[in-house]
Structure 1
Amino acid sequence: AADLTLEKVLTECSDACMYLEKNRLASFTSWPFAEGSKCTKENMARAGFYLCPTASETDLTRCYVCFREMMGWEPDDDPIKEHARSTNCLLLQLEKTEDQLTLRDVLNLEQARSKNRISKLSSFMETQAANKWETVKKDINTIKREARSAKKV
């Protein structure tokens, strides 16, 4: 199975197969909501989501195009309406089923996905760099304190 952690998705495009609705659908192996619910795995996949659970978030989903992550799903949640909160998702703006997509649509979706991925990756790397910088600053301060203590002895 592909590593669908956000880091791997952003750095290695480990979710590349999720452009197909059938692959998104197949990711929902342990989805709790079935027929009679708005939040079925079929509706989730149709809305662009695939399941990428973590140890603490078993219902974490992510859109293949805009990378919006959502969790805390309820049986009556409408995946399309919930996803529409992400106003910049081209997949939703097209309002087409997978069968209705033209070659131009697919190319535009991939272009939008690339832009969204680069934006998310930039933010992700910026956060990582800031966290690393904080660690380095703490290490430098520790070394300075130890050096001052050594001089006093």
Structure 2
Amino acid sequence: MLKAPLASLGDSEIPEQWRLYLLDSRIRTYSNWPFIEGCACTPARMAAAGFIHCPSENSPDVAQCFFCFKELEGWEPDDDPMEEHKKHSSGCAFINIKKKIENLSQNEFLKLDKERLKNETQKKVMQKIDQFQEAAKQVRSSIQKMGLDMSALE
């Protein structure tokens, strides 16, 4: 068995795309998380479930799984992060692995990361499709405003 790729490396030695596999790296994303103590969804429990905090101006409690890229918001203090993750993204390979990341062999880790990369690519493709559809909608609207015949475009 090959040695686990993350087990013997320091934070700064780990490639950027792999740092979020480390629990401490995910915890550090929760600098302004609204639920700190006396809650089920503390930063440590959120991070243990694979989530990173990625707030926006309008959504201060958005959390995204670094692995399956599922975003959840509207957290309540008694929400269990792992249960919410399983409920909304039961196929996430990260929450279904039976070993700690540090105990995976190189082959196991690389196979797992291949799944993460597939998820990342799929999310980016879906974002591009959404952008394209929005642009097409605006073009159709402009054509209609000019009074042109839309039947040739359909």
Instruction: Say whether residues 1:117 and 2:117 are aligned partners.
Output: no
Provide the residue aligned with 2:20 in structure 1.
Answer: 18
Which structure 1 segments of 5+ residues have no match?
Answer: 1-13, 146-153
Secondary structure of the residue aligned to 2:64 is strand
Which structure has more relative contact order (CA 8 Å, sep 6+)? It is: 2
Structure 2 residues not aligned, in runs of 5+: 1-15, 149-154
Q: Which whole-Å CA distance do the structure 2 matches of 1:104 and 1:16 have between them?
A: 15
| Local SS of the residue matching 1:84 | helix
Find out whether 1:140 has 2:149 as its counterpart. Answer: no
Q: Which one of 66, 69, 86 corresponds to residue 68 of structure 2?
A: 66
- TM-score calculated relative to the size of structure 1: 0.76
Q: Is the 8 A contact 2:21 2:101 kept in 1?
A: no
Higher percent of residues as helix: 1
What is the letter of the counterpart of residue 54 of structure 1? S
Aligned length: 132
What is the distance in 1 between the residues matched to 2:18 and 2:54? 13
Question: TM-score with structure 2 length normalisation?
Answer: 0.76
Distance of 1:126 and 1:16 partners within structure 2: 27
Contact 1:15 1:64 in 2 (8 A): no
Shift of 1:99: 3.6
Take 1:54 and 1:47, find their aligned partners in 2: how far apart are those partners? Answer: 21
Q: Distance in 1 between matches of 2:107 and 2:22?
A: 16
Aligned partner of 2:106 in structure 1 is 103
| Identical columns (%) | 34
